[in-house]
Amino acid sequence: MFGIGIQNNLAYRVNFLARSLFGLIPVLAMIYLWRTIFEGQGNATIAGYTLGQMISYYLIVQIVDALTAVNEDDWQIASDIKDGMISQFLLKPVDYLWYRLSLFLAGRVTYIAVAGLPLALFIYWLRDHLEAPESAARFGLFLLALGMTALLQFLISYAMAMLAFWVLEVSTFIFILYALEYLASGHLFPLDILPPGLQQVLELTPFPYQLYFPISIYLGRVGESELWRGLLIQFVWVVIAYAVARFMWRLGIRRYEAVGG
Amino acid sequence: MMSTLLRYCSIYAALWRNSLMREMIFRANFLLWIVVDVLWFGLQLCFISVLYLHTESIGTWTKWQVVLLIAASNFIQQIFHGIFLLNLTNLSDLVRTGKLDFLLVQPVNPRFIVSLRQIDLGAFVNALIALVVMIYAGIQLGIRPGLTDVVLFLVLCAIGILIHYSLMLLLASVSFWTVKAQGIVWGYYNLFNIARMPDEAFRGLFKALFTLAIPMLLVSNVPARVLTDKLASPALVWLLVAMGAGCVACSEIGWRASLKRYTSASS
């Protein structure tokens, strides 16, 4: 299944390439924007970030995003449901969730294969600003959190796409979720430059664990005890998302069979 | 001449009626799309408020000036969406399925019918919301633009819309050459991102590229500068006008070349 996924995705390599190239323009703009703000301020740090750390943040967002973001998966799942493609999974001994997960992972591998080079060149160009992690152990924990981020991204999108069982047009819901994730997961800015009250509210949601958390480990923005607590919370969110995804699927199938006969 | 103009006006009115009827069939969806766009707009405003928690200004741009810039940018973008965007993103589908043939045999200008067939009414609601935010930012800044400023602002917005349209048509025309062009069309969203950033944040090659080649740093910045009295000299206005003319000319050349390729390939 992983192999099929890779083959399907390679057909879209032009798309992937265009996506990654165009995608770098706003990042570059963001870096320029922060540089101007730092210069205007005259302070060495803003909210505890040096300019180098701030630029590193946006560069690592790109890396984490390339490795873990869902691309077309949610749309495909929704259209599988709408077109009745899922009927075959009710007969075959293949579980739809594992099938989609392997396609998702295959999609990430092909994305990296195509978009990896432009991204690598971009980061190499800005290498002076990229900070290294404190220690190898930190980097290991970053990778662990990264893996859970990928799972969380996938499971949340999967659960969201299940809405296709009930509503005709899921794209609006998916876009609303994107908008929330974009802001609350730390895509636009590191979450710890927000006022403390807002940060605490965000920490109650799964969003920070979809992007911000692994990056904060990499940049050493979390202390030792917070780090372990964070990993535990992230794990709990993965389990919850998995349970919700399964539950939605079961409810959806019940409805699907009732309607489809 | 006059009668041709009248004929095209009545065709366009009919297209509006059709779109309105279509939207009213899927009313809930129509409202949800408005919510989606309002959310994205709110998101940009959130981002700016967070930035201004940590700084007084970006270059010489103050907080409310940037709010006005973002709202102006959104206003331009939404009107562009309302009139053109759907049609341009559908172009690759028209080419792939061959439905374009059907449009080409109709007794109207092909560019007219391809560009204006469908109207996205929700976008006009969002343009209105952007306008309200712009006025609110204006009140915060205590500006009282005169009639000439407002007229100049609107003319510059119209030029901005034409620039977006021309560039997007050029990009969409790529689908005449390669069928899988969605990625390229999607890429245009990233260019929109730059249009709402204050021009003074940029320097060097980046600024030159997005001013003199792809004038994203002019389309919203110049109108916003007119309203906020940040225009040092009229040179920027003339630059925007010149770039607008350039983009329109390029898109016409690109469109003709694409159409020629299409008609010679299919017959």
Instruction: Domain ranges for chain A, please list them.
Output: 2-260
The boundaries of the domain holding residue B176 are: 2-266
Judge whether B57 is closer than 8 Å to chain A, CB to CB: yes
| Percent residues over pLDDT 90 in chain A | 46
* CA B166/CA A158 separation, integer angstroms: 38
Q: Per the structure, how many domains does chain B have?
A: 1
**Residue range A199-227: mean pLDDT, rounded:** 92
Q: Angle B147-173/B182-195 helices, nearest 10 degrees? A: 160
| Least-confidence region, from A93-97, B61-65, B185-189 | B185-189
Question: Which one, of A249, A258, A69, A70, lies nearest residue A164 by Cα?
Answer: A249
| Residue found under tokens 């296709």 | A164
| Percent residues over pLDDT 70 in chain A | 93
* A195·B40 Cβ contact <8 A: no
| Percent residues over pLDDT 70 in chain B | 96
Helix (H) or strand (E) holding B219: helix B216-219
Confidence of residue A9 (pLDDT cuts 50, 70, 90): low
The upper half-sphere exposure of residue A41, i.e. CA atoms within 13 Å in the direction of its Cβ, equals 19
Cβ of B155: how many Cβ atoms within 10 Å? 15
How many helices and strands in chain A, by DSSP H and E?
A: 11, 2
Could you give the C-alpha distances from A166 to A74, A161, B26, B129, in angstroms and in order? Answer: 15, 10, 16, 31
* CA B191/CA A71 separation, integer angstroms: 20
* A169·B186 Cβ contact <8 A: no
The encoded tokens of residue B234 equal: 């009229």
Judge whether B174 is closer than 8 Å to chain A, CB to CB: no
Mutate to test the interface with A, among B34, B41, B43 (most CBs of A within 10 A): B43
pLDDT above 70 (res A138)? yes
Q: B40: which chain A residues are within 8 Å (Cβ-Cβ)?
A: 179
Judge whether A182 is closer than 8 Å to chain B, CB to CB: yes
Could you give the C-alpha distances from B259 to A116, B262, B264, in angstroms and in order? Answer: 35, 5, 8
* B50·A15 Cβ contact <8 A: no
DSSP string, B44-91: HHHHHHHHHHH-S-BTTB-HHHHHHHHHHHHHHHHHHIIIIIHHHHHH
User: Which residues are A169's β-sheet partners?
Assistant: none
pLDDT above 90 (res B96)? no
- Beta-carbon contacts of A102 under 8 Å, excluding residues fewer than 6 positions away, are A1, A2, A5
Judge whether B234 is closer than 8 Å to chain A, CB to CB: no
pLDDT at A261: 47
* A29·B50 Cβ contact <8 A: no
Confidence of residue B181 (pLDDT cuts 50, 70, 90): low
The encoded tokens of residue B40 equal: 């994205």
- Beta-carbon contacts of B219 under 8 Å, excluding residues fewer than 6 positions away, are B73, B76, B159, B160, B163, B164, B195, B240
* CA A116/CA B148 separation, integer angstroms: 51
